Amino acid sequence: MSVTLAEPVVDAAVWPRSTRAHGGDLAVGGLPLAELAERFGTPLYVLDEQHVRDTCRAYRRALPGVEIAYAAKAFLCRGLVRWLREEGFGLDVCSAGELALATSAGMPGERIILHGNAKSADELRAALRLGVGRIVLDNPAEIARLAALVAPRRRQRVMVRVVPGIEAGAHHAIRTGGEDQKFGLSIARGDATDAVLRTVAQPHLELTGLHCHLGSQIGSVRPWLAAIGTLVRFLAELRDRHAIVLPELNLGGGHGIAYRTGEHALDIESFAIDVRRQLARQCALYELPVPRLIVEPGRAVTGPAGVALYRVLVVKRTAHRVFVAVDGGMADNPRPALYGARTTVRLVGRPGAAQTRRVTVVGRYCESGDVLAPDVDLPDDIHPGDLLAIPAAGAYQQSMASTYNLVGRPPVIAVHNGNTHILLRRETIEDLLRRDGDTDTDTSAT
């Protein structure tokens, strides 16, 4: 049922663009969140299709002529692949599963980039069979292994992932551009040069350029500007010392978003202007042709488009805290437990009391660390049965979800102009039992 839309909510920076206040509720994509929770159950992920498409178009406007590959690890399903394909995006994938899903949903192989610091032989074979546009080489052993798998009289386009020695990102676990971590090959140590020379010596491999990824949830363009200086200098060294000129440069992703009121997302227009200006300036300094740019946003595309909905099960008051326990938690959103991530929490579905109380929102799982949101302000009359909404939930939540305690993963529902579409259905107890090899077990009680 569609609703009459009111003015946008005050903290619209962290909610999908279609979000509107509707009494004590919020509507996304023209549908009240409370209605969606009643219809599909909770926990529930709601994804605003128009927000995703608008973000894709914003990237295309800001970066004309730049290849944009969505980072599939942020969140992936067939419906999303269709949206991305229609909006002119490619995909970066890092497993045979992501690759299979992408191609089954109609993404052309040539628009796919395969990543991974430890790709299996089967994954490399699948990438060759499906004709992926590029395979990113992450270690020396992979070079000969891949070359040996390429069919006679064929060539596979590849890139070498390099480490520019620049760390960026909101948490140490998601910083990938510095030395001494598992991704890429060091420029400073000479490992990157060695990989480039080994690759160009393989007749079945075509080296198109360099790849780097600095980290995730980066809110400033400055780390990329510094990385470009290092990367272009390295490109010039390859030309001057080895007569190798590479036509492509992939700067990866990591574009930050706002999770709480007052936070700022990476401004894609400023990013585009500053990065292209820096690249042109550095290439002119070394008299190099400007390589074709590739970027790989993931979180920035789907993160702000998503809302997670939870039902309150328990309100427990202890000597020093008020715990609000919901029907989801760390299994469907591990980011707070993994990274100490902080987020916005809002009561929806009814007007709350004017007075608020500081509470800690926790999950239903058997871990003391199952905390979704510590020390957030919610209406003082919060009680079991209430509905809580967490915005900026479209990335690195459903994709990282598990079945801990044998609880099925939540569904993902797309909303658009008052209509819904199930992107991923809820995982049931029957789904979980089907994986168990003991087929003689009596499951009639379930």
CA distance 123 to 129: 10
Domain count, the chain: 2
Instruction: Say if residue 83 is in the same domain as residue 225.
Output: yes
Among residues 302, 328, 353, the one where a domain terminates is 302
Instruction: Say if residue 310 is in the same domain as residue 234.
Output: no
Span 193-226, pLDDT tens digits? 999 999 999 999 999 999 999 988 999 999 999 9
Q: According to the model, what pLDDT value does residue 29 have?
A: 96
CA distance 85 to 110: 12
CA distance 194 to 203: 16
Domain presence at residue 132: yes
Burial 4-18 (b: 16+ CB within 10 A, else e): eeeeebeebbbbbeb
Tokens of 245: 């000129």
Name the pLDDT band for 182 (thresholds 50, 70, 90): confident
State the DSSP code for 400.
G
Give the number of other Cβ atoms within 10 Å of residue 203's Cβ.
9
Q: According to the model, what pLDDT value does residue 348 have?
A: 96
CA distance 258 to 17: 13
Instruction: Say if residue 360 is in the same domain as residue 283.
Output: no
- Check the CA dihedral 334-335-338-342 and report its sign: negative
* Residue 380 pLDDT > 50: yes
The phi, psi pair for 255, rounded to 5°, reads: -70, 120
Name the pLDDT band for 12 (thresholds 50, 70, 90): confident
Instruction: Say if residue 356 is in the same domain as residue 281.
Output: no
Domain presence at residue 270: yes
* Residue 346 pLDDT > 90: yes
Instruction: Determine the Cα angle at 85 with ends 250 and 292, to 5°.
Output: 25
Span 109-146, pLDDT tens digits? 999 999 999 999 999 999 999 999 999 999 999 999 99
Among residues 302, 330, 355, the one where a domain terminates is 302
Query: Tell me, what CATH number does 35's domain have?
Result: 2.40.37.10
Q: Regarding beta strands 292-295 and 205-211, do their DSSP bridges make them parallel or antiparallel, or are they unpaired?
A: unpaired
Instruction: Say if residue 54 is in the same domain as residue 74.
Output: yes
Q: According to the model, what pLDDT value does residue 446 have?
A: 47
Domain presence at residue 7: no
Instruction: Say if residue 81 is in the same domain as residue 133.
Output: yes
Instruction: Say if residue 227 is in the same domain as residue 276.
Output: yes
Domain presence at residue 164: yes
Give the number of other Cβ atoms within 10 Å of residue 368's Cβ.
7
Instruction: Say if residue 406 is in the same domain as residue 334.
Output: yes
- What mean pLDDT is predicted for residues 343-358? 95
Tokens 């080895």 found at:
242
Tokens of 306: 């998503």
Instruction: Indicate the Cα dihedral angle 302, 399, 36, 315, nearest 10°.
Output: -120
Q: According to the model, what pLDDT value does residue 339 have?
A: 86
Instruction: Say if residue 198 is in the same domain as residue 98.
Output: yes
- What mean pLDDT is predicted for residues 38-56? 98
Domain presence at residue 2: no
Q: According to the model, what pLDDT value does residue 396 have?
A: 96
Range of the domain at 402: 12-48+304-434
Tokens of 416: 């658009």
Instruction: Say if residue 327 is in the same domain as residue 288.
Output: no
Instruction: Say if residue 289 is in the same domain as residue 423.
Output: no
* Residue 177 pLDDT > 80: no
Tokens 């871990």 found at:
367
Q: According to the model, what pLDDT value does residue 65 have?
A: 96
Tokens 């219809």 found at:
39
Instruction: Name residue 390's beta-bridge partners.
Output: 308
Instruction: Say if residue 61 is in the same domain as residue 152.
Output: yes
- What mean pLDDT is predicted for residues 280-299? 98
Which of 230-234, 339-343, 419-423 is the least confident region? 339-343
The residue ranking higher by pLDDT, 22 or 290, is 290
In the chain, count of helices (H) and strands (E)?
A: 12, 21
Among residues 254, 270, 302, the one where a domain terminates is 302
Query: Tell me, what CATH number does 240's domain have?
Result: 3.20.20.10
Q: According to the model, what pLDDT value does residue 85 have?
A: 98
Domain presence at residue 32: yes
* Residue 4 pLDDT > 60: no
Domain presence at residue 366: yes
Domain presence at residue 443: no
* Residue 416 pLDDT > 80: yes
Residues serving a catalytic function are: 366
